[in-house]
Chains A and B, each alone.
Chain A
């Protein structure tokens, strides 16, 4: 089954404790992206990757890191999480031939930082 998976689905952590949210897709998509969704602010793009070893900042990259060492994986790293990073996070992927095509989303990761 074609899908985007995220782990964990739910995470409660404390301020400053490094964490990684994994994202994996099995569709051989070049493009992958991370978003956060907050009430009243909607979905905002954190980072995206057009292909392996190619990443770029979205609208809200501060406090996050990403890497794209393999085509199928695009982990999101929070080196020192803070309470304002409490949010619902989505990973997405798509084919691209110059620009993103239809985006496929993962189920989301709900992160709480206390």
Chain B
């Protein structure tokens, strides 16, 4: 059974810092790895999706990498802003069935001015 772990569970940084969020998974037979953002009381917003054949994806100040062999993905946020404060979740698709998604518990990010 796929297990997805995110470290750290919470992170507080001053505005302007570059930061890295980590996601690890136990079963490397994944189809893709997706990063989401969730604001309090809201649904999830997709940030980046990396297909299993890809190594990284970029969108603006966000860069996500994928290393299937080591079972790791990282989300890099450049020049963090208070508006980046949210919970960040990663999810892997695949394993026993490509329809199954397994989520990590999330990293709660606070960027203070």
Contact = CB atoms under 8 A, between A and B. Distances in A.
Interface of A: 31, 33, 35, 40-45, 48-50, 56, 58-59, 90, 92, 98-108
A45 B100 contact: yes
Contacts of A101: 32, 49
Interface stretch (B14-22, B77-85, B103-111): B103-111
Classify the secondary structure of B's interface with A.
strand
Contacts, number: 70
10 contacts: A35-B103, A45-B102, A48-B101, A59-B100, A90-B43, A101-B49, A102-B46, A103-B91, A104-B46, A107-B42
A48 B44 CA distance: 17
Q: How large is the interface on B (under 10, 10 to 19, 20 to 34, 35 or more residues)?
A: 20 to 34
Contacts of B46: 102-105
Contact of A33 (B43, B98, B99): B99
Contacts of B104: 42
B86 to A, nearest CB: 14
Contact of A50 (B44, B45, B99): B99
Nearest to B47: A102
Contacts of A40: 105
A106 B105 CA distance: 19
Given A50-B99, A58-B100, A100-B99, A42 B105 contact: yes
B64 interface: no
B100 A48 contact: yes
Contacts of B101: 33, 35, 45, 48, 58, 100, 103
